[in-house]
Structure formats: C-alpha cells, structure tokens
Structure 1
C-alpha cells in the first residue's frame, strides 16, 4: 500500500497538497543494512524483492547530491542529529524525482547510534504545478505591466509631442534617475491620470479637432463604418 501524507506539511509552501507519495526507510548502522517501505521501492523504481545496499542507495542519487548524501549519512551516524534536506533521486528508469528527506537516529542504551530512520516525500508533481502557477502569474504580470507602460507612453506622447521611442526613453530615464522600476512609474502615472480631472491647457480642444479631422478623413476614404 502506498504511504500518503495527511495534512499539508508546514514549511513547504504550496508544494504539499496532501496527496504526495512518501517512502519510509531505515538504516541499521552496525549491520549496514537498509529497509524500505513498498512506497520507497516505488519511488526508486525498484522491484519489491531488491536487496537494498548503501552502494545501491548512492547510485540512485543525482550526481550532484551523492557526496552531500554520503556526508550526511556519516554525520548522522556519529551525532544522531535530526536531519531535513532537499534531495534528487534518479529512479531505476532514469526519471528524476525532487524529494525532501527528513528523519532522525535512535541510540542504543550506551548512547551509540543504532539506526537511522526517516521519510522521503516526492515533490516532483507539486513543483511542476508550482512552476506552472508561477509562470502563469509572471505572464499575467508582464501583460499588466505592458498595458500600463503603453498607456503611459501614450500620455507622454500626447503631452510632449513625442514619438513612441522617445516616450519610452523618457520613462526609462526617470526610472534610472530615481532608481524606481519603470513599470511602477508607468502604473503610478496611469493611476493618477485616471483619477484626475485636470487637463493640460488646449489639450482637449486639440484632441477634439484631431478626432474630428480623422473621422472626416475616414469618411471620405471609406475606412470608417457606420454603426
């Protein structure tokens, strides 16, 4: 039967949903033998009758995580300190699993470390969901920023008679001079313009004349459509 987590674990943010598969393990220090729960075998992609050895365990580590894992095992076997660390497992089929491993040690009556036991939580699916959420949020933010920047450029073009490139350069100059993000300046400018009823002298009259001229020109050229 596959082990599953109960309530979402604290400290792991939105990665834990309560449906993650976890594996249990135990290492007998003196005998150098390992015990795996069925779900730990599943996580590692191993048949249930596989004999687990330390060498096999280390072969399932991501190459970058192997040395730290060896050091951690030796340290816990000496000190008995509880541990918790991110860890990547490469299963027997070559698939990478992003996990977090935590546990503690059990001492003998004389104080020596008898065994190390713990859990491995597979966060791979959770990380993928989290990455998709972050990516979607970034796209939304970029779209919102781009909209504000375009509106701010339009306001500057109208106020100063600038072309789009010059309007953007003006926004960027203010951003660099005052060490403020360009999108924040643009969003603030748009917000102020939306809630103010002040219009630059002559701007409204000039805009009325421009719209009228464009409408008349479109009517003559057939580019406008009656409603």
Structure 2
C-alpha cells in the first residue's frame, strides 16, 4: 500500500520503526459481536498511522496484509468469530509506505461473566529483522543475564523454533517480550518454559519413530566438503 496523501499517516514512521526506541510490540482487542478492533498506539505506528486517526476495521487490516497472506489471515479472523477462538497468526503486512513487516500475533479469549467468549485480545509482535537486531543489541547491553544464562536461553529458543517454525532471532525476541511484559528476568522465563515443557505429555510414538528415522539418516543430508 502507498499512502502519501493520507492525512492519517505518521510522518515519524521511519524514526519509530528504525529500532531506536520504536515499538516492536503492540496490543489489540477484537470484539466478536460488533467486529470492532482496538489498537494500541504501537500497532497504529507499525502500520504507518498516527494513533487514533484512522478506525481499525477488518477491511483495513486485510488491505494491509501481504497479498500472499491475505486469505490466510481472513480465514483466521473468520474462524475466530465462528468458533470463539483467539486470533493468532504469523503473517506479513505492508505499512502505508509499502514496507513489509513480519508479525506474530499471540492472543487469548475475552470471556464475559458467564464464561462465554466475547472477543480476543493479545499482542502484535514485529519480527522484522531490522528491529530484532537493534533491540537485541540494547537487551544485550541492559540485561547481562542474557549472556550469563545463554545455555538455558538457547534451550528455550529451540523449543519456540520447533513449535512456531521461526528463526533463532525471532525466538529470542519472543522470550524477551515475555520478560519485558511480565517484569520477569529473561533467564527465569527460559527456565520456567523448559520445566513446563518437560511436564507435557509424552510425544506420540509415531512422531518419535519418525524422528528416529530422521536422526539415524541425518548424516546423509550433511553436504560433502569440496
């Protein structure tokens, strides 16, 4: 999308998205009955708008989605409404300047007093590489435990990589997001995640057998040295 004539565009968008203190995370709410969206200022800025100037709607959301991801996101929203489930997704969108963002949306249901799902709320997490690198440098400088506790953090990253099919940098970003959002030390988040995963039900035998075959034959996939 381009939007040079749109008065709702954020003239400081480039500064905000450069990683120098700019928003990498934002929050949202989506109400099923009215299909009304609420964005935090950070989500507006991610999309290139000044907060509050435009009304977020499903149509606006879909107009910004990458053409290859638009149908997937539309179906995720429809399923969320139809089944009362959280709106969670990994996809790309284009901001008002046409710059591409890769985001992960992590959410939960909003329940009324009777326990019925009336909406979903959660987080936009910008996984764009430029923001990842800048914020990682800041975190490495501010949070020395990241270096000291590298082993357990690497284990937790591996869990997220396997679960969400994301990169190592993106997995690190998710861990730091939970650390910042909850005010919990990064190392403690990683240790708790590993402990919780170890309590999960055993992996189905069919999956273990498939992985056994992969492990036993993995040497055949190692490129030969020239």
TM-score scaled by structure 2? 0.46
Structure ranking higher on relative contact order (CA contacts 8 Å, 6+ apart): 2
TM-score when scaled to structure 1?
Answer: 0.46
Larger radius of gyration: 1
